Chains A and B, each alone.
Chain A
């Protein structure tokens, strides 16, 4: 009874992206609605731009009609095979004539046969009379239309407000401390810049970003984020450390417990070869709860996370074990989600529904052991000058999840450890 398209998710996505980041609504399906021009025209007239998809055994022939308003329309005829699309513009025609007889391109639904003029052979690679099994017609709409964008902006404002007014669990601390850990080049500093940019209202670049081998973040940094509108400090601090490395150049494993417990001061310069010791000049001997790390976010580049070396995977698992021992809740941030296969800006609105993202989360769960519900995808600001609400929503949603995770950590603390907060 359900009326669904024959297109696979990937096929539909290739077409949607090809014609300009569209979304398709199936209006007519020949095997359900009769192989008749009447059945098609009744459903598809006055529906705005449409795309007709015709399935032969070996390839798809399609016709994209951009403007339903005009009596005569130009049609983009295309052939879609594997992931390749060849196209040819023809017209103008009266749209209804395409489903009657016509000289260059016509579809005879009753006979399940179409005709393509030899004139288009050079561009399309096919011509003549071609039998088909199925015909579907879709309305084409912009994936990121005004309505959806309004919803996204509203959601962004709601998230901003929720984070501005957020109070850590039980008022045990005034600010939540979130530590970013990840391989060099994963996007930790870019994420920092993105968060700062969102609250400032325009793109900023305080945390240096680079791709040097040893990483530009060789110091421990605790970033207080200012709320641009009110110049108030926000209720969280993002902590950035030296990147992880397979070799001896990255963050020293022995430093991690000290970071978690709050012994390491802002701007401490890490030494790859040896951890901080209590004897160090800047060592914080008696850190308070507010100095500790309340949530850890592993940051990975979504594109390279499946290709981490065995050494890196092993190191990440050792760190996880250390975090569990310290009771610190941890999540995963996958950056650069926009560079995954087929992902467009409009997809960010419903990003967890996209097949490549689902597969990526499953892969991270399988390889690194993180529960999928603790994995968030974001896109960092790297080259833009102005903010994009769809990007902001991803970053803010991830941030809110981290704050909630930190609340879980604070709630789980033994009572004795919270006493130190009594002023």
Chain B
């Protein structure tokens, strides 16, 4: 019999996406190598991270173990990080996961995973039986009393995975957290319903990733890569028009309660990039969508498209200064001076301010494991300190993201950075609205 896996290609790809571009290498197959624990152990000990797949009539059940398989008779003395997953064999091929600590014991009769207190999972090779505890069945959405005879057991080595327990936990929880953020943003309502939607203005040097950030946000809500705002790598600004972008939830969903406003990039020299005198008009809401900026001449009330009596909803509620994180160390004196000019205008209007650092390279390491705040190592990064000092913005209002520009597939951790930044911008805008004088 050929030594090939029963895992379908689609299932394999789902695991690859979840675990971050890994490769699976078949080490043991019960129908070829003998349906007993000794043979399994011979082939699987000392192989690094593994996945054990159990093939049941309507489900495929899997166990990822980060550490080495223990030798028979020896036990892991400390809880090993594992996660459990299942595929259902139907049209939609849904995958469910659960991350748990367990200790693994191997005897000549069985593979046994012990969880907290009295729950344990048994794989009995001689009888081809698997017993899954009730709480795990519930967590994975499996039908109750699934324990039954399996047709095949396979063990794979997992190549290319990061050798870090926190990483495993993070990526299994990332999708869930990402989806939670999506729903929060969809359901968000501006403070006291003062406006129907929040407007966030993206300001920053040419090439800092403003338009890419919009594309990335839209990509997340749309579920596939968006190229609506054209980006490039020219020295001059690609964006020359003022754009007020609205974003839908899903392909045909409703518009979300915020809009991202994209402007011409800031230039170092006079007459290059966005005119500083345009900014007060943008902030008030006097500049219409698609207005063509001129580096030399700001919009005036006499311009035919000028909006003379903007309402609160037309104005900007939050300004996000956007920088390429890799350029923070080398900001020129001229650019710093221009930013100070710009910020003076923003402060005059009392609009909320945040900073967005793009093009971070290690997006998996930006947040603490529970995604609730930036990790300590990230906070100590010099680029964040520079942005904080330059703009007088507290570190808690500085967000780090990696836009979608190089990859062609969505990544939940990257999504979390982007959606978290967006959520904080909306909170900052709420603070601005709350602080408005009564009218």
Binding site for B on A (CB under 8 A): 1-4, 25-27, 32-33, 42-43, 46-48, 139, 141, 145, 147-148, 150-152, 154, 317, 320-321, 323-324, 327, 329-331, 352-353, 365, 369-374, 401, 404-405, 408-409, 411-412, 414
A26-B157, A352-B408 in contact; A42/B42 too (CB < 8 A)? yes
A26-B25, A412-B228 in contact; A3/B47 too (CB < 8 A)? yes
Partner of A353, one of B21, B47, B67, B404: B21
CA distance A52 to B212 in the complex (A): 48
- Decide if B359 is an interface residue (CB 8 Å cutoff): no
Question: With contacts A321-B234, A373-B407 known, what are 5 further pairs, Cβ within 8 A?
Answer: A25-B25, A26-B25, A26-B157, A372-B405, A404-B227
A324 contacts B26, C-beta separation under 8 Å: no
Hey, which chain B residues are within 8 Å of A46, CB to CB?
A: 3, 32-33
- Decide if B90 is an interface residue (CB 8 Å cutoff): no
Interface residues of B in 153-175 (CB under 8 A from A): 157, 159, 161, 163
A141 contacts B43, C-beta separation under 8 Å: no
Interface flags for B285-316 (1: CB within 8 Å of A; 0: not) read 00000100000000000000000000000000
Interface flags for B348-369 (1: CB within 8 Å of A; 0: not) read 0000000000000000000000
Partner of A150, one of B2, B9, B68, B230: B9
- Decide if B5 is an interface residue (CB 8 Å cutoff): yes
Who on chain B is nearest to A44 by CB?
B43
CA distance A372 to B68 in the complex (A): 37
Partner of B42, one of A43, A320, A353: A43
- Decide if B376 is an interface residue (CB 8 Å cutoff): no
User: Chain B nearest CB: distance from A172 CB in Å?
Assistant: 14
A25 contacts B228, C-beta separation under 8 Å: no
User: Chain B nearest CB: distance from A165 CB in Å?
Assistant: 13
Interface residues of B in 212-234 (CB under 8 A from A): 212, 224-228, 230-234
Shortest 6 CB-CB contacts between residues of A and residues of B: A151-B9, A25-B25, A42-B42, A369-B233, A408-B228, A3-B48
Hey, which chain A residues are within 8 Å of B228, CB to CB?
A: 329, 408-409, 411-412
A27 contacts B10, C-beta separation under 8 Å: no
A26-B157, A42-B43, A414-B290 in contact; A371/B231 too (CB < 8 A)? yes
- Decide if B204 is an interface residue (CB 8 Å cutoff): no
CA distance A27 to B29 in the complex (A): 13
Partner of B157, one of A3, A148, A330, A331: A3
B290 contacts A373, C-beta separation under 8 Å: no
A27-B27, A147-B5, A147-B8 in contact; A405/B227 too (CB < 8 A)? yes
Hey, which chain B residues are within 8 Å of A411, CB to CB?
A: 228
- Decide if B4 is an interface residue (CB 8 Å cutoff): yes
Who on chain A is nearest to B25 by CB?
A25
A1-B48, A2-B49, A47-B3 in contact; A329/B27 too (CB < 8 A)? no
CA distance A370 to B227 in the complex (A): 12
User: Chain A nearest CB: distance from B220 CB in Å?
Assistant: 14
User: Chain B nearest CB: distance from A94 CB in Å?
Assistant: 19
- Decide if B392 is an interface residue (CB 8 Å cutoff): no
B224 contacts A404, C-beta separation under 8 Å: yes
- Decide if B406 is an interface residue (CB 8 Å cutoff): yes
A33 contacts B46, C-beta separation under 8 Å: yes
Hey, which chain A residues are within 8 Å of B212, CB to CB?
A: 371
A404 contacts B47, C-beta separation under 8 Å: no
CA distance A1 to B47 in the complex (A): 8
B405 contacts A371, C-beta separation under 8 Å: yes
What number of B residues sit within 8 Å (CB to CB) of A? 45
What are 27 A-B pairs with beta-carbon distances under 8 A?
A1-B49, A2-B48, A3-B46, A26-B157, A27-B25, A32-B46, A43-B42, A48-B3, A147-B5, A150-B8, A151-B9, A151-B10, A152-B9, A323-B230, A324-B238, A327-B230, A329-B230, A369-B233, A371-B233, A373-B404, A373-B407, A405-B227, A408-B227, A408-B228, A411-B228, A412-B228, A414-B290
Binding site for A on B (CB under 8 A): 2-5, 7-10, 13, 21, 25-27, 32-33, 42-43, 46-49, 67-68, 157, 159, 161, 163, 212, 224-228, 230-234, 238, 290, 404-408
Q: What secondary structure prevails in chain B residues at the interface with A?
A: loop
- Which of B46, B157, B290 has most chain A Cβ within 10 Å? B46
B2 contacts A48, C-beta separation under 8 Å: yes
User: Chain B nearest CB: distance from A45 CB in Å?
Assistant: 8
Partner of B227, one of A3, A139, A352, A374: A374
User: Chain B nearest CB: distance from A90 CB in Å?
Assistant: 24
A154 contacts B43, C-beta separation under 8 Å: no
Hey, which chain A residues are within 8 Å of B32, CB to CB?
A: 46
Who on chain A is nearest to B11 by CB?
A151
User: Chain B nearest CB: distance from A27 CB in Å?
Assistant: 7
CA distance A309 to B234 in the complex (A): 19
CA distance A317 to B238 in the complex (A): 12
Hey, which chain B residues are within 8 Å of A154, CB to CB?
A: 10
CA distance A158 to B406 in the complex (A): 25
User: Chain B nearest CB: distance from A74 CB in Å?
Assistant: 19
CA distance A25 to B269 in the complex (A): 58
Hey, which chain A residues are within 8 Å of B8, CB to CB?
A: 147, 150-151
User: Chain A nearest CB: distance from B289 CB in Å?
Assistant: 8
CA distance A371 to B3 in the complex (A): 41
Partner of B159, one of A4, A331, A412: A4
Partner of B26, one of A33, A139, A320, A412: A139
Hey, which chain B residues are within 8 Å of A369, CB to CB?
A: 232-234
B233 contacts A365, C-beta separation under 8 Å: yes
User: Chain A nearest CB: distance from B91 CB in Å?
Assistant: 11
B405 contacts A148, C-beta separation under 8 Å: no
User: Chain A nearest CB: distance from B255 CB in Å?
Assistant: 12
B3 contacts A139, C-beta separation under 8 Å: yes
Hey, which chain A residues are within 8 Å of B68, CB to CB?
A: 1
CA distance A327 to B292 in the complex (A): 13
A373 contacts B225, C-beta separation under 8 Å: yes
CA distance A178 to B3 in the complex (A): 46
Hey, which chain A residues are within 8 Å of B234, CB to CB?
A: 317, 321, 369
Hey, which chain B residues are within 8 Å of A401, CB to CB?
A: 225
